[in-house]
Structure 1
């Protein structure tokens, strides 16, 4: 029995470690190397390229956020030019207004241009300026899209970072 308890304790600790969520990411954000687009542009200050400018500033008037018109299932998409193995996608929400618009947005990764690729994750929490990291576990694709499916909405977000598969770090 004395030998059984340490083994059981080891298995319990190991089991917890195995079910814990990990993001697989490298230090370099590859999003700036891609070509961004979006369904529409509400205002000249809300262009697709703003989401990969390296600036998480969440105030729209600072010209670092994207903003679409009110569209059915609005989207923002990044063409990485060739399929990549994605470890994590980080999305920074707007902080000055309208942060709840991003709730329910799906991050999709794949090789189809029509935003019907597999879902890496869904943004479920929205707060002013909240940064969400979604673990994509090595999904492969040329395109990374953020889509608000099934509703008429304005899409706004302020930064998208994409990290290829690499070293393991805890997903927060």
Structure 2
């Protein structure tokens, strides 16, 4: 039984899973849909800020499940959780159909500054089609969770953000 499980894991690894090499465990209810999202700009009506918290991880832009900003200096997306919350993990799903490299180097920030000058929970270091990145932010408290690509002059796009209230059980990125 255990051998079959390990073989299955190896097979999935060979296929290239959509999960980053981390062990974050989301616990509790995803808080993101309860918040108010915004972004620096909107490139196309299909790429509105609320698409990142609609519960749809579909990575195809034309399905209206992703965000897309205009080309901006340090583009950002943010959700206002309406009150300070303790954040345990943030999960970001990248676009699957195109342009997934735009998310590489993005910082996930948590704090109470509405201008995105908050402590960094983690940085997205890998960007592949449809990649799901889990960043652990145990004990970080903030009203705002933002994704910022600092010092970039480009568009920002991704497809889903989930924010969980409790910490993790194992090492995270």
TM-score norm. by structure 2 comes to: 0.83
Give the deviation of 1:27 after TM superposition: 3.1
Q: Confirm or deny: 8 A CA contact 2:72 2:155 kept in the other structure.
A: yes
Give the deviation of 1:170 after TM superposition: 6.0
Give the deviation of 1:32 after TM superposition: 0.2
Runs of 4+ in 1 over 2 A off after TM superposition: 21-25, 166-172
| CA radius of gyration, larger in | 1
**Equivalent pairs, count:** 152
Structure with the largest fraction of strand: 1
CA distance in 1, matches of 2:39, 2:25: 27
Give the deviation of 1:154 after TM superposition: 0.2
What pairs with 1:67-106 in structure 2 (closer than 5 Å)? 67-106=68-107
* Aligned-partner SS, 2:169: strand
Q: Confirm or deny: 8 A CA contact 1:86 1:164 kept in the other structure.
A: yes
**Which consecutive residues of structure 2, in runs of 5 or more, have no partner in the other structure?**
1-21
Q: Which residue of 2 aligns with 1:120?
A: 121
* Aligned-partner SS, 1:56: coil
CA distance in 2, matches of 1:47, 1:72: 18
Q: Which residue of 1 aligns with 2:15?
A: none
Q: Confirm or deny: 8 A CA contact 1:24 1:164 kept in the other structure.
A: no
**Superimposed CA distance per residue, residues 33-67 of structure 1 (whole angstroms, 9 cap, x where no aligned partner):** 00000000000110000000001000000000000
What pairs with 1:1-80 in structure 2 (closer than 5 Å)? 23=24, 25-80=26-81
* Aligned-partner SS, 1:45: helix
* Aligned-partner SS, 1:32: helix
**Superimposed CA distance per residue, residues 60-94 of structure 1 (whole angstroms, 9 cap, x where no aligned partner):** 00000000000000000000000000000000000
Q: Confirm or deny: 8 A CA contact 1:74 1:149 kept in the other structure.
A: yes
CA distance in 2, matches of 1:97, 1:24: 28
**Which consecutive residues of structure 1, in runs of 5 or more, have no partner in the other structure?**
1-20
Give the deviation of 1:26 after TM superposition: 1.8
